[in-house]
Every structure is written in structure tokens, then in C-alpha cells.
Amino acid sequence: MTDTFKVTVTDIQTVASSIKEFTLSPVEGQLIPFSAGSHIVVEMPTEEKTYKNAYSLLSQPDDPSHYKIAVRLQDNSRGGSVYMHTQVKVGDSLTISAPANRFAPLWQAKKHILIAGGIGITPFLSYLPEFERRGEDYELHYLYRGGQTGAYCNELSEQLGDRLFCYDSATSPRCNIENLMSQRAPGTHFYICGPEKLIEAVMTTAKQLGIAAGYIHFEEFAAPKPGNAFELELKSSGRLLNVSEEESMLEAIEKSGIEIPNLCRGGVCGQCVCRVSQGKIDHRDTFLTEQERSSGDVIMPCVSRAAGERLTLDI
Amino acid sequence: MNIAINKIQTFRDDFTYSNSPEAIARFPFPFTDDEYKYTVNMEPHQPKDGENSVYARFFDIDEHYLSEMKERSLVLAEMPKRCLVMPHMELACWDMIEKIMTSLAAQYPQHFSLTQDGDNWCWENKLLNIKDSFVFGDSSTLPKPPMEYIGRQIQGDFALLDQRDDDLFLDAGIVTCPADWSLMFDAGMSFSEWHGPVPMAPSQNIFERALKYLVAIPVGRPVRRLNWTLTVNARMDTASETYHKWGHERSEVNAENVAEKVHLRVELQVIDRMPRSNALMFSIRTYLISLADISTNPQWAQRMHRVIKTLPPALIEYKGFARYHQHVVDYLAQFDESAAGD
Amino acid sequence: MQDESIKSVSSRPVYPPVEININAAYHLFITEPSASSKVGNLLQQTAAKTHQLIESDNIEELKLQLTELIGTLPLATSVYLAGRETYMWQVYAVLAELGFIKEQIEMLTPTDNSRTVFCCHCYTQTHQVAAAPFECEGCGLPLTVTDHFSKRLGSYFGFQVNAEAKDELPAAEAF
């Protein structure tokens, strides 16, 4: 479990037609400063379940007076973004986690090329002040759909000048990833935050150009993908839980009132590992080793699921 | 707790270092079983064992404070490179300053105070008669570079680990009392590289697992573990750098002097995520206690006898006490009833 | 101290066989003059337009040369190094400083078994050490040499072999 904090929503701004920006201020004292690229997990209690979604912090990293996050209303939302857009009002209080970082800039880089797709602009907004402070060489390439997802364009353009490259899919030509990536000198690193398609396009182009994978960085926001519903047995108590198609095993366990240590909720950090005493596993995490996967007796319940109709956890 | 800080004692030459009965009572005795077992033994760094324990506060300041600060200044005067900071670690050093100053001022208000007005900070260390005003984050406003400045005011060695590519790199540190390693040599190494010399690598898997655990440590969730070895004489600075000066002491242990000469050396290691830089702060707080002082607690002496007796030879070699291992076992045997005839 | 009997030390580099990275857009070979023949085979597998061989054993000059060259090199450059182990790691440090990442740099098997040894007592590096114990060029102490290796220093870790008992001075053994 990570520490949680109560914050008050002190401002809500619509920054693009499908994106709202929330300012979160501490109920008492100050918030924790954070490193460039950090995110927090916001808890959204609804009647049927508590959603926990990770959002990048986009305020100034060294300003502990408030945090800012931006939330896009997702077409295929599992509920979190709908909640943020329709339920949360100025003055409401929310529970958030401490900041964590899986997408920090690499300070050994000679040049940073940031590639943002739509709402993927958010982690880079906390890079910029730190880049300026350290005098880093960088470019920001921002791909969005005019009106819908192009948040912060004007501010960025003012602040970055010719280091900003905007690609509005409604009005301007598409971003040519190959052009963007070729003619770069050794030491140039690429950071991508956006839809999977964009990440794949950059990876594919890097491969074609012969660029080493170590130059490409992206945030693995592996939101748990839905799967088949299954039955979950908790060995110690004998309780049976139903995990629906749309929820993760971790969410189902939490709904039943049991807390499991967890951090990333994306199969990366390893905190929520559980022992499996029966049933086949559909491993979807990036934490366990090959050996552990094939042993079949451990699982990351935040993303992985039963491969069959039933799974028994040793908890 | 109101700690009485001792007058300055020495960790070299005439070795006047000693533990008071209170210091013995709170010594972090590391053995939890009657035989040696390899464990990573991590636990959350939360207060435990009451107000007087070494775990009561984030950083432990004890009666040896002035002596250890004097010892540190002697080491740094001889070898300034025992403090080494790579340029990209500057922000992490300020994280470290913030953590240490805010913790000490809150938990030892009788000795330390901190006033913060935005980035204008004023720090007072009454134990060392230091009072400085500076601008947080601006290294030019401190009388010494940030890590050295604060490192000279807190017991224990410190390393700052940079996190990148899902690995940790030993990119900064102030290390004047290490158990036989060299910061100058290990600087810049990855997690698996700086553990290179650890023998019987208890399966590579343990290291991989430990690394994955460490890179996932969140802000505000520090963890700790104890590590231990034996040291001849109350010598804090058993660095590789000075091994040529203290190595011979390992040959000088005999049945008559073993109780006074041989010390159990315990490191309280704390690992804490730094919020501004995402670095990990790795603090290594060293405690020394003579076997004679250990034997004032018969349970400790009995357990230590059983552990030391069952240590694998490779570990005895690695920890550097092969030459006098038997003397230690023989001495401690008298406190272990089941050891008749050892 | 770290004991020389420790068999596998995870900081010690290994040098698997090197192959041309066929995906790279450019191939840069950097060798000690005496080791250029080692890359002959690899060089032949790349088109003349897309490769360059630099022979130099002067690290300072090499640094200047590479700093000038780097602006003309594509990001998809592969670098191949040949020479003594310490030479290759010195060049590696220069390349890393210029922004190259480890995936881009390949090292051939070192041309000899000699080691550069870092004396932990006086911080002097003694080059071309062929056997240990040996006498440190800085402080004169007889040093034994471990397999603990620092890539930053391009050196193995050395410490006084007989610090615990002066009369225990083993005969030197070749690496």
C-alpha cells in the first residue's frame, strides 16, 4: 500500500473539448515535491466500485502548494474518466497516492525528443521546467486532433517557440515519424507518451532506421485490459469472488474489503504479487521472470487473469 | 529521549571508544535465529521497540555523535575523495539535505533547528555549533558542496543511487566508515556490478528480485535491513583505502584479547525514495560493540555463538575474519550451555 | 578483503563474439594501432561508404577527433572496439560522454591478458600488469588483483596482498 493523501479540488478548467484540468490542493500542510515525469493514483469511489486511475502530474515539480492533472474523457472508459468529468466539482475532496515515477528523463542524453499524442502531453509538461532549469536541448512534437485533444497549444507555443512542433490531424499534414527520427546525432533520445499506435509507429521506425532500442522511452501505462469473467477463490477464508470482464482481479479483491500492497496497478512494480494454489494463469505483467511464469504459482493480480474459469489464490 | 552526547572518543590509534550501558541496551543486535541463514530481511522503516531504540527516529543520533563527526573529518582531511558526487546527482543531494534537516529538526529539536521561508533556509546544529543561512537548491550558498556539508553533520555513510533503465547506479556518496569497500572504485557501478564481490551469490535470482523491489520503492515508504560483520578494534574506517594500515590487526587477535579487541559491527541500512530527483538514498549507520559488552547480555552471547559457529566458510572468508574465527567461537562458547566440549 | 579465490564476479566484463550489426546505418571501428587487423573481417562485411576505421592509442586526441566527428554520424551508428581491455574501456568512456549508449558499442576479445589495476590505497592505476601480486607504481605495495572491475576506471581492483601478515607474500602468478 502506498501512502494516501486527502486533497481538495480547487479549480477545474476545460483545456480542450474532451480534456479537463483539475487543480488539487492539500487539505492541510503541503504536498510532496516530485520528479519530472511522475504520476499519482486518484481514487474515485462510486457505488459499485472504487476506480483507481493513474494520472501524470503536470504542475511545477518543485511547487508543493498544489498538483495539476488533466483527464481526457475516454470513449471506452472503464468509468474513471467519466467520474472525473461528470461527478467531480470544485470543493470536492479526493484521495490520491504519493507521486511515483516510471518515466523520468535520462540526464545522460545529449538531446531529448518528446513525442506526445493527445492527452499524452501531460508527463512532458513536468519535464519542461526541469529541462529549462538544467539547460537541456530538446524538441516537443505534439500530435492531436484539433479542438478535441490539443490542450495547452498556445501556452506551449509561447513558452517553447521553435522547439514546439504541432501536428493537428484536422488541419495540418500528419507527422512523418521517419523524418522526425532520421538525421539525428548519437545521444538523441526519444520519449513517447500517447496511444499504443503511436508508440508502435516509433518503435517500428526506430527498428527500420537501425536505432538502438535504448534510445526509445515510453511510459507503460498498461491499463488492465478486460478479459473473460472468472471465479476467484481465496484459500484462507474460502471466499468466492466473481471477477467480471471489465474489472481486474485486484479490483475485485479490494471490493471485497481485502487490501493488497500495490503501487503501479499496471503489472510493472511487483508490489501486489500473490501466490496461486490452483488454476491456470493468463500472465499479462512485465514483472515476473520467465521461470516464475512457467512455475504457475505466482500472479500479478493488477493485470493478469485466470486462463480458465476459476483460480485459487493463497491469500 | 534526551541523549547524553559523549565527549570525543577515538576510533583509531588509542581507540578510546566505549559504549555506555544505555548504548549496549539499545544496540541493534542482528541475529534472529540460532544458526546462520541468508536473508534479505527487509522491513518497513517504521519506529519500533520503544522510545529509546535505534529505530525510534528516521535517523539515529546517539552518544557517539561528536566522536563520529570528528572521525569523519579526519578521514576527509586525509582523503577528500571519500566524498564523491557525479554532476547529475546535484538535485538528489538537495533531496538528501531536505530529508536530513527536516527529520533532525523535527525529531531532535533540542539539538537541531530549521527555519524555512520559501527557499531561504536557516539551519542550526547546536551540537557542532553550526548556523548557516542558504538558498535551498543553490549549492553556491553553502560553505561546502551539499553532500559533504550535510554528511559532516550526520552519523553513518550515505550513498545516492540514480535510477535509470530499471537499474540503480552508485553515482554519489560520502563513505568514511565502510565495511571494506571503496566508493572511489565502485562509483558509477550498476546494482549487480557493485555487488560483484559478494560470494556464493545466493542465486542470481535474489539479486534480480531485490533490484526490482528497490526500483519500485515509493516516496514515503522507506525500508531497512541490518547487515553485520566483525571488526578488530573499534575502528570505524575499515575502508579498502586504509586496509594496508589495519589489515595486520586481524592477525593480532588471541584468546586473551578477543573479548576486548573483536567488535560486532552492525549496519542499519535504510533505503528511501527521494521525491525531487527520484534517486534512492541509501544510508548505512554503523554500530560497534565489543564481544565483552555483548556478553553482558547472556542471550545475545549464546545466540551469537551459534550463528558464528555455523557460518559457511566462504562467508567467513568474505567477511574477513577467517584468521580469528576460532577465537571468537571459543570465547563465546562459555555463554552457550549446549556447547560444552567445543 | 575480496579474496582472489572468488570465482565469478558479476562486475567482470565478458566479451562474446562480435558480429556486424546489419541494422546499423554506419559502422565505426576504433582500435589500437596494433589491433586494427582484428577488425579486418568485420570491416570487409560493411560497405566502404558506411564505415570508417580510426587507429589511435592517444585517448586525448581520440576524444577531440570523435567530438568533431559525432555531428556527422547517424544515430544508428554501431561502434566496434579492439585492443587491450583497458584501452577499450577508456574509449567506451569517451563515447558514453559523447552520448553513445551501451547497445551501440561492441568490444572484441581483448588482445592480451594484461590488466590495468586500480590500487585502492593510493588510487594509482598500473597498466599492463601481467601477473599478481605485483608492485603498485604509485605506493610500491605488493598488490593482489581481484576480478572486481570498474568500467568507469577501466581497471581491476587491487589491494595489498600481505597487509594481514607481512611474511605471507605468495609467488606471482600470470593471469
Q: Is A106 on the interface with B (CB under 8 A)?
A: yes
A14 shares its domain with A73: yes
Q: Are residues A85 and A173 both part of a single domain?
A: no
Same domain? A48 vs A68 = yes
Residue (of C17, B50, C76) closest to A205 by Cα position: C76
Degrees (nearest 5) of the Cα angle C18, C19, C23? 135
Q: What pLDDT shows up at residue B201? A: 55
Task: For chain A, say whether C21 makes contact (Cβ under 8 Å).
Answer: yes
B-interface mutation test, from A34, A35, A106, A289, most B Cβ less than 10 A away: A35
Residues in CB range of C135: below 8 A, 6 or more apart: C141, C142, C143
What residues contact A15, with CB distance under 8 A and at least 6 apart?
A21, A70, A151, A152
Distances (CA, A) of B96 to B147, B268, B325: 8, 17, 38
Q: Residue C80 CA to chain centroid, in angstroms?
A: 12
Show which residues on chain B lie within 8 Å of chain C, measured between beta carbons. Answer: 81, 180, 182, 184-189, 192-197, 199, 201, 204, 240-244, 246-248, 250-251, 317-318, 320, 323
Estimate to the nearest angstrom the gap between the alpha carbon of B169 and the chain centroid: 19
Task: Indicate the residue among A101, A131, A149 that finishes a domain.
Answer: A101
Beta strands in chain B (DSSP E): 43-44, 83-85, 112-117, 120-125, 130-135, 157-164, 167-174, 223-232, 262-273, 280-290
Among A109, A186, A214, the residue with its CB nearest the CB of C77 is A186
**Domain regions of chain C by residue span:** 26-107, 115-174
Other Cβ atoms closer than 10 A to A149: 24
CA B174 to chain centre: 11
Q: Which of the residues of B are catalytic?
A: 225
Contact A270 B216 (CB under 8 A): yes
> Which chain B residues are Cβ-neighbours of C148 within 8 angstroms?
185, 196-197
Q: What pLDDT score was predicted for residue C5?
A: 39
What is the mean pLDDT of the segment spanning B125-149? 98
CATH code of the domain in which A133 resides: 3.40.50.80
β partners of residue A103: none
Q: What is the DSSP letter of A120?
A: G
A104 lies within 8 A of chain B by CB? yes
A261 touches chain B (CB under 8 A): no
| B204 in contact with A, Cβ within 8 Å | no
Region of A304 please: left (phi>0), alpha (psi -120 to 50) or beta: beta
Collapsing DSSP states into helix, strand and coil, what is residue B113? strand
Say what the pLDDT of residue C115 is: 96
Contact A33, A61 (CB under 8 A): yes
DSSP state of A51: E
Q: Is there a domain that residue A209 lies in?
A: yes
Q: Are residues A34 and A82 in the same domain?
A: yes
Q: How many CB atoms are closer than 10 A to CB C166?
A: 12
What is the separation of C-alpha C129 from the centre of its chain, rounded to a whole number of angstroms? Answer: 13
DSSP B238: B
At A219, the pLDDT band (50, 70, 90 cuts) reads confident
Interface of A with C in 5-64 (CB under 8 A): none
Which chain B residues are Cβ-neighbours of A33 within 8 angstroms? 275-276
CATH number (domain holding residue A256): 3.10.20.30
- Does A175 reach chain B within 8 Å, measured CB to CB? no
8 Å CB contact of A2 and B218: yes
Residue A224 lies in a domain: no
Lowest mean pLDDT among A134-143, A214-223, B246-255, C106-115: A214-223
- Same domain (yes/no): A96, A122: no
Distance CA A240, CA B163 (A): 41
Spatial separation of the C-alpha atoms in residues B118 and B141, rounded to whole Å? 15
Q: Which residue of B has its CA nearest to A101?
A: B278
pLDDT tens digits, one per residue of B146-174: 999 999 999 999 999 999 988 999 999 99
Contacts of B188 in chain A (CB under 8 A): none
Provide the angle, in degrees to the nearest 10, between the axes of the packed helices B298-309 and B325-333. Answer: 140
Taking an 8 Å cut-off on Cβ atoms, the answer to whether B278 and A101 are in contact is: yes
Describe the crossing of helices C59-69 and C85-97 by its angle, rounded to 10 degrees. 40
Q: Which of A66, A101, A136 is the last residue of a domain?
A: A101
Q: Which residues of B touch C164 (CB under 8 A)?
A: 247-248, 250-251, 323
Could you give the ipTM of this predicted complex? 0.93
- In a mutational test of the B interface, the residue from C123, C148, C166 whose CB has the highest number of chain B CBs within 10 Å is C148
What integer pLDDT is reported at residue A45 of this predicted model?
Answer: 86
CB contact under 8 A, B243 and C159: yes
Work out the average pLDDT over B177-196: 95
Do A239 and A191 fall into the same domain? no
Residue C21 has pLDDT above 70, yes or no: yes
Same domain, A210 and A251: no
What CATH number is attached to the domain comprising A19? 2.40.30.10
Residues B283-342 pLDDT 10s: 999 999 999 999 999 999 999 999 999 999 988 999 999 999 999 999 999 999 886 554
Q: Contacts of residue C70 in chain A, CB cutoff 8 Å?
A: 185-187
Return d(Cα A246, Cα C91) in angstroms, integer. 53
CB of C28 within 8 Å of a chain A CB? The answer is no
Q: Identify all chain B residues contacting C168, using CB atoms and an 8 Å cutoff.
A: none
How do residues C32-81 score in pLDDT, each as one tens digit? 999 999 999 999 999 888 999 999 999 999 999 999 999 999 999 999 99
Q: For residue B1, what pLDDT band results from cuts at 50, 70 and 90?
A: low
* Chains touching chain C, criterion 3+ CB pairs below 8 Å: A, B
Distance CA A186, CA A180 (A): 15
Q: Is residue A265 part of a domain?
A: yes
Q: Which chains touch B (3 or more CB pairs under 8 A)?
A: A, C
- For all residues of chain C together, what is the average pLDDT? 93
Domain membership of residue A225 (yes or no) is: no
Average pLDDT for residues A70-78, to the nearest whole number? 79
In whole angstroms, what is the distance from residue B190 CA to residue B184 CA?
14
For B120-154, b/e burial (b = at least 16 CB within 10 A) is: ebebbbebeeeeeebebbebeebeebbbbbbbbbb
Instruction: Answer whether residue A263 shows pLDDT above 90.
Output: no
Model confidence at C155: pLDDT above 70: yes
- What's the structural domain count of chain A? 3
Higher pLDDT, B39 or C102: C102
Domain containing A261: what range? 230-313
Residue A106 belongs to some domain of the structure = no
Count of CB pairs separated by less than 8 Å, A with B: 54
Q: Is residue A223 part of a domain?
A: no
- Is residue A189 scored above 80 in pLDDT? yes
Contact of A270 with A287, CB cutoff 8 Å: yes
Q: How far is C102 from chain A (nearest CA, A)?
A: 8
What is the pLDDT confidence band of residue A71, given thresholds at 50, 70 and 90? Answer: very high
Are C53 and C78 within 8 A, CB to CB?
no
